[in-house]
Structure 1
Amino acid sequence: MRILNLCETAKGGVGIYQRHVAALSSRGFEVHHLVPDSDADFLGADLRLETFRRKSRGLGAIREMLSRFESLLESLDPDVVFFHSTFALAALARMRMRGDRRPAIYCPHSWAIATCGRYDPKRPVVRLIEGRLAGLADRILCVSQNDRDIAQRLGYRGTFSVIENAAPEPNPNAVDTLFADDPDNLQLLFIGRLDRQKGFDILFDAMRYTARDDLRLHVVGDEVRHDGSTIWMSRRAIPVGWIGQDEIDSWYRSADALIVPSRWEGLPLVVPEALRNGTPVIVARRSGMEKLITPGVSGEVFDLDRESLATCLHDLDKARLRAMRPAARAAYEDRFTIDRMLDQLATMIRDVAAK
């Protein structure tokens, strides 16, 4: 069975998800991916990649995406099309408008409505467009129960499945010695885009507000959407840039904890990635993320504001975090293994294709 995945952007979590979906080849699927040419290097050369031209996000990039997508529908003739994130809905709508009824799956990777405040004038428009277009898919795949709850509360159309994000086993060559020359300081990790969604501005502000000189925040990632405030790094916040998947486990394994201060999420892949390395996770009480860990056992939880996060940072203890590592690894094995996710995905795709 041939699957075509479509992404308007493929850096960060959505890109990593493409690598996970590609592993469906072990379940008898032929998996292809249409992504921006600017993101192809992030995914690696071992995937069946097709690209469209994109210098920046906008209408021009969407037109290029639609043109390349329509060409691939003819040349590849996929059995199932898998649309990822909000802007891919444009391609789903175009496919249906042209009378193409082949099986389609849509995964929001966190609903766009989550970006709108309660009184945001865009909120009714986003709700209408997203809620109706998503229903054009034969199945809506939510990567967390929270995403499904949002859709059902808002009356979004469609048939829903929940398959939680997962992560493969870590790189067996990963090391835990990246910070061996700085053993006394608390080594914290942030991984992701430096945009508003990921909440790095709140974390950075809390770091400055915390009266601890032994905190070291290693910032793995960069700007993608350019919708956040410009942030100047300091001695305690160390920019790293994007790290390849062959190296990322060494960063998790060497850190005392991962911090996830996101304003909204589906189920951030950094959580199972950290847990697979036995790294405790400190998450914001947003989007159901607090249900991904057990406070005081596999991580900690904070309210998403500067004062609460600063208090959480102030109370962190290196020895206590180290003692959490076995429980963090056990949480991965119990809930977030890639085999569980792939088995569920394969069953869902075959079910959609059969209808």
Structure 2
Amino acid sequence: MSVCWECVVPTPTLRVAVLNIALSDPVPGRIRQKLSAPGHPRISRLAAMIQHVQPDVLLLCEFDHPGEGGDDGGLTDFCRYYLAEPQQGQVAIDYPYRYCPPANTGLLCEADLDGDGERTLPQDGQGYGFHHGHFSFVVLSRYPLIEEEIRSWQTLLWQQMPDNQLPEGYYSPEARAQLRLSSKNHLLLPVQVGYQRFQLLCAHPTPPVFDGPERRNARRNHDELRLLMDIINDEAYLVDDQGNPGGLDKDMPFVLLGDLNADLHDGEGMVLALRHLLYHPRVHRAVAEGKLTPKSLGGRFFRPWKLRRGRSSEWTHLSGLRLDYVLPSADFDVLNSGVFWPDKKDPLRRLVTDENGKERADISSDHRLVWVDVRLPAVKSE
């Protein structure tokens, strides 16, 4: 059968990225205040990283905003005063489409989670946080975000996941009946690119540390990763916050984005869920664990506090771990990928080091920006 090439509409190349931007503070409103004017040195360096990489779609983890969702002005000011103005010699960038989802962080649970007889933050939050919206995430895009079709699993209870990893005997029956699975949110957000649409699958699972022998955080991280896989698998038990059953349509392209707080080779997590996710048949294998995994030159020269087994070129965190992921579905063409971690001789290294050349979290972030260039298959026009 011949193809009408005049009817085939090519889709543009997209750069999709994630950055844990570390714009969170235990004091509510403090980040909003810092963003309310230009000139903050650390925020300027963070913006310069984004401007240098120029992502088309970007997930920013640990960006404080109202826990019920929406922008209190902080994201608008970050875009206005920092991204829309050249920083550190870089080129300005504009994101006309933005989304601030609701979050479980700092949302006080109706049950006493830690069993100390009191309901107090952060330990009794649905997700760890000193105020509602602490450690939230936001999405920025050059392409339209179809907000009326967003699906989320913020309120799914942990005990509702079949074969879950809830620690035996740690949570009271009252706590188990109230505790949600997602520590922030699990989100499907449609992005419109010309004639085509794909889904962003976003999450920021809890870190698998700060645990006791019950390993509640490691277990929750495992099941938050499993929830991502269950959404991809369209599992029958799923009901989203909007009351719709199931997960992702099997024919819908997607990009999974997040600081997953999990490393396949190192760290404290229960790696089975991450392994299943990275090797999922619908996830692009070359990007997940192949020749196109995002890499940097600068990471190779970093010496973390602990000896690691993983490939240093793939690290995205100052602890020497690969924690941050951009995972396109297998139906994307993947053209390139990378981690913004400048080499020792790169003039942009000043964005991650102090005046003595030492890499510190408070210079910009303890994470590095990860990006992947993708292209959707061409489509036939109507």
TM-score by length of 1: 0.30
TM-score by length of 2: 0.29
